[in-house]
């Protein structure tokens, strides 16, 4: 079979049996970038013409002295970048990648360069400029593979404020974004999400991990309070019921005391008197459904008021019973938030990492959740998870990958 490119043949698996490719490399000739043929592949035969690698090297395995060295910034977030202390016996990182944790947290390009230069010149942590830690994780593995394939060296350091970067009102950045925009670091490797604002300021590679947003929250406590019987109604409702009961008792006592037909020392001069205590006894006995000995009012206004209160007590008791059943059923049920826009999230202590992709996305979307979360700013992802476990925060919103990792390893 022949096509526009020549003869075409396929094997049983659908792969081309006859294939021919020209391999080209984009090089700079002093004036512009041009494509240059560097080889040809035909079938299983490979014929290279010669490649000029970065650094004008004739082979991929160039000498160490000719390698380019880059300053790389990162931010520890499990499972992409994890840090630990060097080996206790050897004082070095045996299998992990050394990374510098700067002791001077003043955000300055000179501070970072001074520490990196001291490390590259052979200074140890005793200089006081940095502490050597061992970094590992998915992102670190990708960095080492990239350095091996492209034949470069790097000095890895942890961003001083351990944030990805938030843009201020005057247009400046913090965190990793600041190190990149002011050329403190050549590039960054981290769980660094692509957002519109960041993409305007810096360039991103193709994504190596895709993730959404998720919510992590602490389990409800199963302890029952001694005042649990009050929880079906709010404080305002209980206050309204008590005020209504006392107003009803006072009105009945006044009606009965001033009526010519009531239980009072004058008028018909009955043997019993209807006092405020009599009204309170009647009101609360009707409300709580207890049959205790009470004095029945004789005046018509008092009788109307008593019947009105009995009618209201029926609705109060019915509402309390229904709410009590719902409260008991819901107390032992799990929490189920529908999505990130669930209005119930605005009534709890929820935390967000300032400057994170989650924070920026919710802020740009006009979510009210941002104003609630700003009351409880989370300094780092790890600390935010610990706050939820320690119940300082009820809930926190992170990327799905972070939530899944912590949920698996707790």
Mean pLDDT over the full length of the chain: 78
Query: Can you tell me the distance from the alpha carbon of 57 to that of 134, in angstroms, rounded to the nearest whole number?
Result: 31
Instruction: Characterise 128 by phi-psi region: left (phi > 0), alpha (psi -120 to 50), beta (else).
Output: left
Domains 69-210 and 228-332 share a fold: no
Bond before 29 cis per omega within 30 degrees: no
CA dihedral sign, ordered 183, 188, 191, 196: positive
- Summarize the annotated binding site as residue ranges: 193, 198
Q: How many CB atoms lie within 10 A of CB 279?
A: 29
Q: Which of 343, 342, 365, 361 is nearest to 399 (CA)?
A: 361
Query: Can you tell me the distance from the alpha carbon of 154 to that of 119, in angstroms, rounded to the nearest whole number?
Result: 12
At 287, phi and psi to the nearest 5?
Answer: -65, -45
Query: Can you tell me the distance from the alpha carbon of 23 to that of 42, in angstroms, rounded to the nearest whole number?
Result: 11
- pLDDT tens for 161-203 read 888 888 888 888 888 999 999 999 999 998 888 888 888 899 9
Q: What is the CA radius of gyration of the chain?
A: 37
pLDDT at 60 over 60: no
**Mean pLDDT of all residues in 281-305:** 80
Fold of 228-332: Helix Hairpins (1.10.287)
Do 406 and 382 form a contact (C-beta atoms < 8 A)? no
Query: Can you tell me the distance from the alpha carbon of 134 to that of 156, in angstroms, rounded to the nearest whole number?
Result: 10
**Mean pLDDT of all residues in 82-109:** 82
Q: What is the pLDDT of residue 71?
A: 94
Q: Where are the alpha helices (DSSP H) in 182-218?
A: 196-201
Q: How many CB atoms lie within 10 A of CB 248?
A: 22
**Mean pLDDT of all residues in 358-363:** 75
Angle ∠(383,384,388) on CA atoms, nearest 5: 115
Q: Which of 25, 9, 26 is nearest to 17 (CA)?
A: 9
Domain 69-210: CATH superfamily is: Periplasmic binding protein-like II (3.40.190.10)
- Summarize the annotated binding site for L-glutamate as residue ranges: 193, 198
- Beta-carbon contacts of 97 under 8 Å, excluding residues fewer than 6 positions away, are 134, 135, 136, 140, 143, 144, 156
Domain residue limits, the chain: 2-48, 69-210, 216-220+335-409, 228-332
pLDDT at 94 over 50: yes
Q: What is the pLDDT of residue 404?
A: 53
Q: What DSSP character marks residue 16?
A: B
pLDDT band at 144 (very low <50, low <70, confident <90, very high): very high
Helix (H, G, I), strand (E, B) or coil at 266: coil
């Amino acid at each position: 079979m022949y096509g526009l490119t020549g003869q075409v043949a396929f094997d049983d698996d659908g792969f081309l049996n006859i294939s021919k490719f020209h391999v080209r490399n984009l090089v700079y000739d002093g004036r512009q970038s041009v494509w240059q043929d560097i080889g040809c592949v035909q079938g299983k035969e490979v014929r290279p013409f010669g490649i000029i690698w970065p650094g004008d090297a004739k082979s991929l395995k160039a000498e160490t002295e000719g390698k380019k060295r880059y300053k790389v910034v990162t931010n520890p977030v499990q499972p992409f970048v994890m840090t630990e202390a060097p080996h206790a016996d050897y004082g070095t990182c045996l299998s992990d990648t050394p990374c510098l944790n700067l002791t001077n947290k003043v955000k300055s390009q000179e501070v970072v360069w001074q520490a990196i230069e001291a490390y590259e010149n052979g200074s140890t942590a005793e200089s006081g400029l940095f502490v050597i830690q061992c970094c590992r994780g998915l992102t670190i593995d990708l960095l080492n593979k990239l350095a091996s394939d492209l034949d470069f060296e790097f000095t890895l350091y942890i961003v001083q404020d351990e944030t990805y970067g938030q843009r201020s009102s005057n247009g400046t950045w913090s965190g990793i974004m600041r190190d990149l925009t002011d050329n403190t670091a050549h590039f960054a490797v981290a769980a660094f999400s692509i957002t519109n604002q960041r993409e305007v300021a810096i360039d991103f590679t193709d994504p190596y991990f895709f993730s959404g947003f998720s919510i992590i929250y602490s389990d409800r406590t199963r302890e029952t309070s001694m005042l649990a019987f009050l929880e079906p109604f709010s404080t305002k409702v209980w206050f309204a019921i008590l005020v209504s009961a006392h107003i009803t008792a006072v009105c009945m006592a006044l009606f009965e005391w001033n009526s010519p037909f009531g239980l009072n020392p004058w008028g018909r001069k009955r043997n019993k008197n209807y006092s405020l205590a009599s009204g309170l006894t009647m009101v609360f006995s009707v409300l709580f459904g207890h049959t205790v000995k009470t004095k029945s009012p004789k005046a018509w206004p008092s009788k109307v008021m008593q019947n009105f209160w009995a009618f209201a007590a029926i609705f109060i008791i019915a509402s309390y019973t229904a709410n009590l059943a719902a409260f008991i059923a819901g107390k032992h049920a799990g929490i189920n938030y529908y999505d990130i826009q669930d209005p119930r999230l605005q009534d709890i202590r929820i935390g967000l990492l300032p400057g994170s992709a989650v924070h920026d996305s919710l802020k740009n979307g006009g979510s009210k959740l941002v104003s609630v979360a700003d009351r409880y700013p989370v300094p780092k992802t790890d600390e935010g998870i610990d706050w939820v476990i320690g119940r300082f925060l009820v809930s926190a919103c992170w990327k799905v990958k972070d939530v899944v990792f912590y949920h698996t390893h707790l």
